[in-house]
Amino acid sequence: MRRSRSMAGPEIASIPESLDVDRRTSADSEGAESSSATGNTDQLGHGHFFTKKSFHKPSYCHHCAEMIWTLIGVSGYVCEVCNFVVHERCMKHVVTPCSSIAAALIKNPVPHCWSELIHVKRKFCNVCRKRLDDLWCFRCEICDYYVHAECQEFAASNCRECATYTPGKEPAQIIQYHHWSEGNLPNNSKCASCRKSCWSSECLCGYRCAWCILTAHPLCRSTVPQECDFGPLKKIMLPPSVVTIPRTELPMETIIGVLSYRKMKDKESKEKESGNEKETRTAISEELSSSTGINGKDSSGESSSSKERKRRKEKEREDKEERKERDSQKEERRSKDKDDEEQDSDAEIVKVFDGNSSMRRKVFRTITVNRNAGAKEVVEAALRSFYIKDDPGNYYITEALEGSEERTLDVTTPICSMLMKEDSRERPSLFLRYRDKDPNKGFIKVYPGNLKSSQGYKSIPVTSDTTVDDVLEYALRKFGLGTTTKSKYNLIEVTMDNRVTERVLSHNEKPWRIMQQIRKESIHQMLKTRFYLQEKEDPHGSTIALFIGNLPSNLSQRQYHGILMGFIGDDNPFSTIGIIYYEYGSVVIIYDNNDAAVRAFNSLKVAVFDDRNLLVMLLPNIQAQLLANLKELTPLLVFVNVKSGGCQGMELIASFRKLLNPYQVFDLGNGGPLPGLYVFRNVPKYRILICGGDGTVGWVLQCLDNVGQDSVCQSPPCAVVPLGTGNDLARVLRWGTGYTGDEEPMDILRDVIEADEIRLDRWTVVFHPDEKPEGEVKAVAACQVMSSSTAEDNTSMFVMNNYFGIGLDADLALDFHNAREENPDKFNSRFHNKRIYFKMGLRKMVKNRSAKSGSRDLQKEIELEVDGKHVDLPPVEGIIILNILSWGAGCNPWGMEKDETFSKPTHWDGMLEVVGVTGVVHLGQMQSGLRSGIRIAQGGHIRIKMRSELPVHVDGEPWSQGSGQVVVLRSALRATMLKKTKIKRRHTTEVHHSVTEPERSSS
């Protein structure tokens, strides 16, 4: 099960004097314990295995980032395990821990949120410290940790913790620490302490706080104050201390929605390929469920239901495929490495398995040993290959042969003479085994997790017969919690593999036997398995909200209930329906039990209704009561239309997830704006950043209209990052014509912080079609998406933010539309259901128009009335009614000239401007800025009588509208927008440093 610990501690908190292996005898239990529990890195040391090396070409010191080159007389060392390179002179200052002990330094493991397999240039692996170039790798979407695919299993689970709310904690007790992640710093990063450069393009070096983007040298970090204030984004950061996510086995990716988008993309491509939808869907569901499987724990044999076993099996299969790829990659790298290193001909490559499970899964490491090497040397090499820092005396090796007895190898004879068989073309393989000092008793370490008395782990003596119950009692006493509270705690087994998985132990399980079992299966896994005390009560509380989308719209509550229960099953009912968004076919259901919620999640995510896959999300919770005290804080809710503007949306969302709390960043491809608005419904004050086209802005505003009354903050101000083309509203608000990718996401967020609030009038466009015979109502049917229309009178209503056009201008909208169509964007538009109708309508219209000769007679087909007065129309082919003074991607149809008749228009004056277009030539001139439109009228209430079917558009979304009456009136729904200020600012890092400087001097 995924853990969701609620303590933002510094990642290096308790320092064990050796690894998390429970091998100590009774002699070293207590005394050593107390000193180590409160110790620091110095006591453990950095853990590297340094050996002297001659650097024949320029290399760089991972500590100080300066050059090492033996030829010019500078000597250096390299760590045999993690390739940490260091000057001789820097060696005594090294504080960066070796990859072999990084995991042991973690107090509360937090899993990374891995990207898909990617290629990255100019970055370094956080495990083996080598370049990632040309090799498959993973990136953490939250903290910028990078690993080679083959290094992933050795990654330390030390990601940024983004949901740390602890009930009962006073605001004064909440301390946010920096989260230091190593290396891959932005170019020209300067150290916050010594002001010197602390980045390198040549090696993994320097540290960066994943919250406040402060950068520092390894050693200088200790002089920077420990507390983190979130740096330049503190005004809009959603603090982790107010967020909870339920303790479930669901990976983080499913909560912040990284995974689901990826799967959706997969699905689309798969569907295209196979055409067999049903099969594809099951395949995906399996894939999804297997990805939540418990990695590598396949044979601990404890209480695995058949379902779980199946899942693990799938996981293994998946692993196998992945491994194939990695193996070939490994081979490549080895030959590459060989070129670098001088190899002696007596070297032999040996496969090492670290346990039975690894053998079954065919996961091994390879080591290169001299043919004459003894067992001890081989053990040492094997330990290093698994990033294990431990006394080799605790290990031994055996020959691993599939299907035959394991043979222990003699310590004195050279290893290869025993292993090599002339007829075998296979590489020799070995088991690395752990030597039990006494198989019947030992010590286990119990960590306190997020208990209020936060200390280091405690060693608990156990025998083969000690039960979890006994351990609980003993541990509670040692942590000073008293055994009377035993019923409030669980002992959990936590495994820090590439996800952090946890399992609640039942009271009669035997921890010592569990450890023995795991170590037989995989030593690597044993080292990453721990026991934690955990309060039974989840800090998230007992309400778990699931958001469900893609249901049909406008059903009754009973119908929604029926559909959902049909998928979930009667044996697992939810406790309540949280809210129903009828217009959107979306429902939030509430469970009061984590396991039940996960079961429902798993059933719903594979459910298909009306040929659509249901969308299901597990929502985080914001403890809004804590935000009321933080007056200077206005958290930002970020919506990204990932599919807008090519892949720019993808880049932006990745950047924002890293810069902010990922729980405040929502992908609109994942249920639209509603999940985010639901999560923020109790936040007293917040701002919204919408990344997408004007259509996306309209979509978010429209959802805000709908959820406003249920939210504490009814009209949060909205800023825009324009994606794609058009973007008239964004232009008017100074957010630019379209994001180019050149702008730093950090600068965008600073602009949002500084932006001014401004009101945006909004308008309701009501169409009352004339009574028509059958078959003529298609346009109306098409409009029902957002209408509050009643079927009887065919009236439909739209909210208009930008402009409304009739005639020629709507024709032009087709061009916009087609342009957008090139970046297919199903979700971009609140009108998407109408696409088909509109296309038909336009084709028809074009035909009609070409049939009619001399179509410059719109004035004969429509009648215009402004504020109750009839207005005579000049000869025009189209009219445009404007709320904002930008149209057609940045033109101003109203024009700049002064005019006595009309007042200067704004988008908050309660007035609309009506302009006319005489023809295609005029339209072209307007587009190129040579002419403006013909000013016709200005007013707050517009009525138009349409005598025939005409093309119309609202905010650039066109269709063909039958004859009837159109009324445009001011909507009660007003929006507050954010307008970018004109002030230019200096470069990002400079500003930040000038902010942090006073803090340093005061500390």
Residue ranges binding Zn ion (CB under 5 A): 48, 61, 63-64, 79, 81-82, 84, 87, 90, 98, 112, 125, 127-128, 140, 142-143, 145, 148, 151, 159, 178, 191, 193-194, 209, 211-212, 217, 220, 228
Nearer CB in complex with Zn ion: 103/616 = 103
Nearer CB in complex with Zn ion: 140/674 = 140
Nearer CB in complex with Zn ion: 79/243 = 79
Return all residues near 278 (Cβ < 8 A) that are at least 6 apart: none
Nearer CB in complex with Zn ion: 114/803 = 114
Min dist CB 69 to Zn ion, Å, is 12
Query: Exposure string (b/e) for 672-697, b if CB count within 10 Å is 16 or more?
Result: bbbbbbbbbbbbbbbbbbbbbbbbbb
Distance of CA 995 to the CA centre of its chain: 28
Nearer CB in complex with Zn ion: 140/765 = 140
Min dist CB 87 to Zn ion, Å, is 4
Return all residues near 660 (Cβ < 8 A) that are at least 6 apart: 233, 236, 237, 238, 636, 638, 749
- Which phi and psi (to 5°) does residue 812 adopt? -60, -35
Nearer CB in complex with Zn ion: 112/263 = 112
Min dist CB 52 to Zn ion, Å, is 15
Min dist CB 89 to Zn ion, Å, is 7
Task: For residues 752 and 689, give the distance between their C-alpha atoms in angstroms, rounded to a whole number.
Answer: 8
> For the chain, how many residues are written?
1003
Query: DSSP labels for 32-62?
Result: HHHHHHT--HHHH-----EEEE--SS-EE-T
Return all residues near 724 (Cβ < 8 A) that are at least 6 apart: 644, 645, 692, 693, 738, 820, 823, 825, 828
Min dist CB 633 to Zn ion, Å, is 16
Q: What angle do CA 810, 816, 821 make, to 5 degrees?
A: 125
The DSSP call for residue 98 is P
The answer to whether residues 965 and 945 touch, using CB atoms and an 8 Å cutoff, is yes
- CA-to-CA separations, 14 to 20, 162, 412, in angstroms, rounded: 12, 21, 39
Nearer CB in complex with Zn ion: 86/975 = 86
The answer to whether residues 889 and 951 touch, using CB atoms and an 8 Å cutoff, is no
Contacts 24+ apart (CB under 8 A), 709-714: 710/579, 710/681, 711/677, 711/680, 711/681, 711/682, 712/624, 712/681, 712/682, 712/683, 712/684, 713/680, 713/683, 713/684, 713/685, 713/686
Nearer CB in complex with Zn ion: 140/491 = 140
Min dist CB 45 to Zn ion, Å, is 11
Nearer CB in complex with Zn ion: 220/379 = 220
Nearer CB in complex with Zn ion: 159/808 = 159
Nearer CB in complex with Zn ion: 178/311 = 178
For residue 15, is it left (φ>0), alpha (ψ between -120 and 50) or beta? beta
The 180-182 sheet, strands edge to edge: 180-182, 207-209, 215-216
Q: Which amino acid is at 376?
A: K
Task: For residues 439 and 930, give the distance between their C-alpha atoms in angstroms, rounded to a whole number.
Answer: 90
Nearer CB in complex with Zn ion: 209/544 = 209
Nearer CB in complex with Zn ion: 863/999 = 999
Min dist CB 142 to Zn ion, Å, is 5
Task: For residues 908 and 435, give the distance between their C-alpha atoms in angstroms, rounded to a whole number.
Answer: 78
Min dist CB 395 to Zn ion, Å, is 19
Nearer CB in complex with Zn ion: 363/690 = 363
Task: For residues 276 and 262, give the distance between their C-alpha atoms in angstroms, rounded to a whole number.
Answer: 20
Nearer CB in complex with Zn ion: 143/720 = 143
Residue 669 tokens, joined: 């491809």
Nearer CB in complex with Zn ion: 217/247 = 217
Min dist CB 187 to Zn ion, Å, is 17
As a three-state string, the secondary structure of 733-791 is: CCCCCCCCCCCCHHHHHHHHHHCEEEEECCEEEEEEECCCCCCCCHHHHHHHHCCCCCC
Q: Please, what is the end-to-end C-alpha distance for the chain in angstroms? A: 41
Residue with tokens 């402004």: 866
Min dist CB 94 to Zn ion, Å, is 9
Min dist CB 361 to Zn ion, Å, is 20
Min dist CB 90 to Zn ion, Å, is 3
Nearer CB in complex with Zn ion: 98/691 = 98
Task: For residues 831 and 818, give the distance between their C-alpha atoms in angstroms, rounded to a whole number.
Answer: 14
Min dist CB 840 to Zn ion, Å, is 50
Query: DSSP labels for 573-625?
Result: --SEEEEEEGGGTEEEEEESSHHHHHHHHHHHTT-EETTEE-EEEEPPEE-HH
The DSSP call for residue 183 is S
Return all residues near 322 (Cβ < 8 A) that are at least 6 apart: 149
Q: Is the torsion defined by CA of 778, 780, 783, 789 positive or negative?
A: negative
Min dist CB 30 to Zn ion, Å, is 31
The answer to whether residues 644 and 243 touch, using CB atoms and an 8 Å cutoff, is no
127: exposed, middle or buried (C-beta count within 10 Å: 0-12, 13-18, 19+)?
buried
Min dist CB 143 to Zn ion, Å, is 3
Min dist CB 232 to Zn ion, Å, is 11
Min dist CB 229 to Zn ion, Å, is 7
